[in-house]
């Protein structure tokens, strides 16, 4: 499934749910379905700077040339947010990740319904995911 197709699925899932308390419930459910990150990856080097909550993100380049992310957070809403980002970007090439227009965040109204600190955290999560993709792309070119 392409990044765009997965974004459209998420947008459709949220379309019929107008109440933001229900939407937060959906985000929490997504976080609960996030595969657990290995405990040995919960290191300071995998913590995302700029998040009020603790968010760990690890990325590996697969033999197929795609980026595989694993993540976790100690906050339920934030875990749901990182889960959505992982779901959309996981197992795509560095170029696909770097060129992705992640419009679903605005389309479902997520950014406007987060506190300023969570919004900053969302930006930091996206930035770190793209930094991993850029690092893998750069390494492959050298």
Gap between the Cα atoms of 79 and 137, Å rounded: 27
Name the active-site residue from 51, 81, 108, 133.
51
Based on the residue annotation, tell me whether 41 is a catalytic residue of this protein.
no
DSSP result, 63-88: TTS-EEEEEEESSHHHHHHHHHHHHH
Which among 16, 30, 135 has a CA at the least distance from the CA of 82? 30
Tell me how crowded residue 4 is: count the other CB atoms within 10 A of its CB: 15
Are 77 and 113 in contact by the 8 Å Cβ rule? The answer is no
Q: What angle do CA 41, 131, 37 make, to 5 degrees?
A: 20
Comparing CA positions, the residue from 17, 6, 1 lying closest to residue 108 is 17
Kindly list the catalytic residues: 51
């Amino acid at each position: 499934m392409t990044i765009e197709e997965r974004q459209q699925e998420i947008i459709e899932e949220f379309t019929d749910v107008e109440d933001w308390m229900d939407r937060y419930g959906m985000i929490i459910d997504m976080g609960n379905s996030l595969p657990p990150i290995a405990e040995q990856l919960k290191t300071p080097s995998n913590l995302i700077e700029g998040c009020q909550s603790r968010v760990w993100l690890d990325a590996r380049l697969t033999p197929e040339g795609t980026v595989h992310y694993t993540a976790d957070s100690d906050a339920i809403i934030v875990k749901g947010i990182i889960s959505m980002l992982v779901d959309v970007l996981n197992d795509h090439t560095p170029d696909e990740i770097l060129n992705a227009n992640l419009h679903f965040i605005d389309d479902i109204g997520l950014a406007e319904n987060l506190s300023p600190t969570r919004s900053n955290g969302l930006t930091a999560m996206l930035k770190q995911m793209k930094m991993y993709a850029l690092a893998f792309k750069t390494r492959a070119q050298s």
